[in-house]
Structure 1
Amino acid sequence: MPHSDDQAVFVLVHGGGSSSWDWHLVAPRLRERGHEVIAVDLPIEDGANGLPEFADAVADAIGGRERVVLVAHSLGGFTAPLVCERTGVDLMVLLTAMIPVPGESMGAWWSATGHDALGIDIGSEERMIAAFVHDLPVEAAREALAHGREQAGDRWDEPTPMRAWPDVPTRFLLCRDDRFFPPEFMRPVVKERLGIEPDEIDGSHSVMLSRPDELADRLHRYWTERDR
């Protein structure tokens, strides 16, 4: 458990159709920097579950720990603010993540932000690799896709119960080489919905797999420099 001002509990939340495996390269690097790490598997395959159940799973994993840094990737951005309503979070980091507004559903976000108009096609393995993991070697990219899980869509159009954005210090980290949430698309979304300028890092949408050292360094610095 953390025992100094420079140590935290990093709670890592995966994106849509994914799993905690996505963080398997970043987690040990954060532990090497002295942090506790919890990578959560959201209960996405059961259609009875929606955003409240996803947030409950993360809050249960936190289990009352303190000095929590909540890191949410992609669709995990819908879960993260709800977690902050359930338990203490010291810092929230949105990693090329969706940013909801009160009453918005996961399904409505795509047209509301203009993402639909980008015409990004992920209908085949080749196109999924191009969109999500194009900066990985081909075999590593295929392995990443093989670790995907079915994302049940039963509650896709259910509005988020988030009443307002939580009063938690928030950083947004976009990926300069992201082809699924391109930086020119994300920059205005972040500014409009969060009122902040995003930070940037090289790498694809799956930067935790392609640049784990750089990402772990950035996350560590977010914690150690949080008061600046």
Structure 2
Amino acid sequence: MATFALVHGSGDGGWAWHLVQQALRERGHDAVAPDLPTDREDATWEDCAEAIVRAVGSGRDVVLVGHSSGGFVLPLAAERVAPVLQVFVAAMVPEPGETPADWFENVGWSAAVEEAAGRDDGLTGSPDPMVAFYHDVPVDLATQAMARERPTSERLGSTPSPPAARPTGEVRYLVTSHDRFIPPEVQRRVAAERLGLVAPDEIASGHCVNLSRPDDVAGYLVRLAEETSPPATPRSTGPSQTRLARSSRTRRSISSRISRTASGPWPEGSGSAQSS
């Protein structure tokens, strides 16, 4: 059984993951989705990472999953919980010392949004959250998400990521190919340049895939966990079983196939006009 730590973006809370969390538990896994203190002006990146650590507790075979700006927290949390895998879902992958505000400039976000808007008659980057973020989310669910919007710390938005922000170990990136907030081409470039993933996984979804396709996301995460986690050691230590355990301890490679424009340092979202 794996423990999935589901990390929300700015403006959201753990509720944004509730459908994925339920689907993971139905598949026999543990899943936690803590509220990060991103609504506090005195919050630090370390505070956010600690919230994840507390939620994970003594969980084993931890898989860290970050959506949107939640990707900024994953590397720091990974130093503390030693996950078997980190999964970035339509996420901001930071460089050491980079602020969330700088991230958008550094990855060419504005130009990509303008170009995409020219192709889709202004749908990408629309100020209407139902168009930019929730276009493929059931209306009642999207309405709930917007009603649950949390304030976003402007201080965090201008605080550099920690020196050890670059992700290490097993990593995956899930591109949301119908995203109208972080254009898919930006996500693919981030995956390639910052994670070394030239062929990231993709799903036909808008930015809030955790609400639009939760069952598919859960299935995807479970497959990754099964392919990444080392086989369990047999209870018996008899010669034949020991040899079997040793021969089976090979890591299989993973090959299988995500905020809101607002004023201030957080021009993105996933649960409201100011979330990410």
State the Cα RMSD in Å.
Answer: 1.5
For the 8 Å contact 1:84–1:168, the answer to whether it is kept is no
Structure 1 residue ranges (4+ consecutive) displaced by more than 6 angstroms after TM superposition: none
Report the counterpart of residue 211 of structure 1 in structure 2.
213
For the 8 Å contact 2:2–2:61, the answer to whether it is kept is yes
Report the counterpart of residue 168 of structure 1 in structure 2.
169
76-85 vs 194-203, which deviates more?
194-203
Report the counterpart of residue 3 of structure 1 in structure 2.
none
After superposition, give the CA deviation of every residue in 1:8-39 in whole Å (9 maximum; x if it has no partner). Answer: 00111001110111111111110111101111
For the 8 Å contact 2:141–2:211, the answer to whether it is kept is no
Match of 2:56 among 41, 55, 62: 62
Q: Which stretches in structure 1 are left out of the alignment for 5+ residues?
A: 1-6
Report the counterpart of residue 76 of structure 2 in structure 1.
82
For the 8 Å contact 2:13–2:150, the answer to whether it is kept is yes
For the 8 Å contact 2:125–2:180, the answer to whether it is kept is no
Q: How far, CA to CA, are the matches of 2:191 and 2:176 in structure 1? A: 13
For the 8 Å contact 1:174–1:186, the answer to whether it is kept is yes
Report the counterpart of residue 19 of structure 1 in structure 2.
13
Report the counterpart of residue 4 of structure 1 in structure 2.
none
Q: Which stretches in structure 2 are left out of the alignment for 5+ residues?
A: 115-123, 229-250, 253-276
Matched residues, percent identical?
Answer: 43
For the 8 Å contact 2:38–2:156, the answer to whether it is kept is no
Structure 2 counterpart of 1:40, one-letter code: P
Tell whether 2:96 aligns with 1:94: no
3-state SS of paired residue (2:185): helix
TM-score by length of 1: 0.91
CA-CA distance at 1:121 after TM superposition: 4.0
After superposition, give the CA deviation of every residue in 1:80-118 in whole Å (9 maximum; x if it has no partner). Answer: 000011222111111110010111011110111111222
Tell whether 2:222 aligns with 1:220: yes
Determine which structure has more spread, i.e. the larger CA radius of gyration: 2
TM-score by length of 2: 0.76
Structure 2 counterpart of 1:222, one-letter code: L
Report the counterpart of residue 177 of structure 1 in structure 2.
178
After superposition, give the CA deviation of every residue in 1:41-96 in whole Å (9 maximum; x if it has no partner). Answer: 10111100021211111112222422101111000000000001122211111111
Report the counterpart of residue 189 of structure 2 in structure 1.
188
Q: How far, CA to CA, are the matches of 2:97 and 2:17 in structure 1? A: 29
